[in-house]
């Protein structure tokens, strides 16, 4: 298996000659835009589903779930944890854009399993200000999926909480394993 990090591209020459990774992304966008045609889509997801997942670069959610452009809303953060901001996004997704289902995806080998809330303390010592957010670290990925499902199901802001399912994505096999909410 190869990744974009291991496949040389023409724009890597720009990085080697003083360009940045952002320059590479902007160049790639120019190539994308040159062939782009407006698909004429609405902002409402065709499948009426919102997927909340970890930001881990190993998760290609569209490929892993067989999704196409326009099928879902995708909300990603460190750990795929349901935070206040995720509830905010889900609320907008449901109330303004018609989603009905929520899929939560954590994964094996998550970096949050090796962090603690001590991370916030270390940041405070380094920069002189305590972050307002919690790290949301966890030791048990299955239990954290259950906690995230519970946060969605009990949010007073969400209209649709009957179709909330949680999974752990195995980064070695690519398979999802469903987590029983009980």
84-103 pLDDT, tens digit each: 999 999 999 999 999 999 99
- Distances in Å between the Cα of 10 and the Cα atoms of 22, 83, 173, 181 are 14, 39, 31, 47
pLDDT of residue 1: 44
Q: Could you read off the pLDDT of 111-150 as tens digits, one per residue?
A: 999 999 899 999 999 999 999 999 999 999 999 999 999 9
Beta sheet of 49-54, edge-to-edge order? 72-77, 49-54, 101-107, 164-169, 176-179
Percentage of the chain with pLDDT > 70?
A: 90
């Amino acid at each position: 298996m190869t990744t974009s990090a291991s496949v040389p591209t023409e724009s890597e020459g720009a990085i080697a000659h003083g360009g940045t990774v952002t320059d590479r992304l902007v160049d790639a966008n120019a190539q994308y835009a040159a062939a782009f045609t407006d698909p004429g889509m609405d902002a409402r997801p065709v499948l009426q589903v919102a997927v909340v997942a970890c930001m881990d670069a190993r998760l290609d959610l569209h490929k892993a779930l067989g999704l196409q452009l326009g099928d879902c809303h995708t909300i990603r953060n460190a750990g795929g944890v349901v935070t206040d901001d995720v509830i905010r996004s889900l609320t907008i997704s449901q109330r303004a854009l018609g989603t009905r289902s929520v899929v939560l995806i954590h994964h094996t080998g998550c970096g949050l399993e090796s962090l603690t809330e001590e991370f916030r303390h270390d940041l405070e010592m380094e920069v002189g200000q305590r972050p307002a957010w919690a790290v949301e670290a966890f030791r048990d990925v299955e239990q954290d999926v259950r906690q995230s499902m519970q946060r969605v199901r009990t949010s007073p802001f969400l209209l649709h909480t009957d179709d909330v399912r949680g999974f752990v994505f195995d980064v070695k096999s690519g398979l999802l394993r469903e987590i029983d909410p009980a």
